Structure 1
Amino acid sequence: MLARGNRILTVNPTPLTVSAIQDRAAGNGTRYPGHMELDWHSDNKKVQIRLTNPAIIANFGTYLRFLSDIELRVDDGERLSTGSGKAIWEVLHLT
């Protein structure tokens, strides 16, 4: 079971509480093979993120903990990456 409501992200630089996570387990409910899309909500803002690293999708519970330790500054279409430069997610839209 994924933890809900206890993760804080920062977006431009609005604090974002993960109050709603679309229920998509690894390999289940993905719209595209090898991708997982999530909606992160805070007040009236929404960030839709597409995870693009299969290893991340397979270990999503661990990855969610990682997300709580980083700061996101995002624009539409921005691709965020690890230190190695490998893209791990893509911002689909920020509203």
Structure 2
Amino acid sequence: MGDGDTVTCTGAGTPFRPGTDPTAPSPDCGHTYRTSSANQPGQAFPVTATVHWTVAWSGAGQGGTFPDMTTTSTATFRVAESQALNNGGG
């Protein structure tokens, strides 16, 4: 995830549904950054995502399995942070 954490998700994930809040946490797999990316090179966390695919099929009385596939992609994410100070004043 670029911040030293690794996330491993299992299963197919949650299908996208129109109208879903894009800022809502993932219902089955996600990551929360606890610090800003301001001190990172380029002020962004470098992230690599790898997906392992296993595909089984059937139809017309036949079936089979495709060879396992792996796809990998990278992206960078800028993470900002906001801090507040309450001095106890009214």
Question: If the TM-score is normalised by the length of the shorter chain, which range does it land in?
Answer: under 0.3
Q: TM-score under structure 2 normalisation?
A: 0.25
Question: Quick check: which one's strand share is greater?
Answer: 1
Q: TM-score under structure 1 normalisation?
A: 0.24
Question: Quick check: which one's helix share is greater?
Answer: 1
Larger radius of gyration: 2
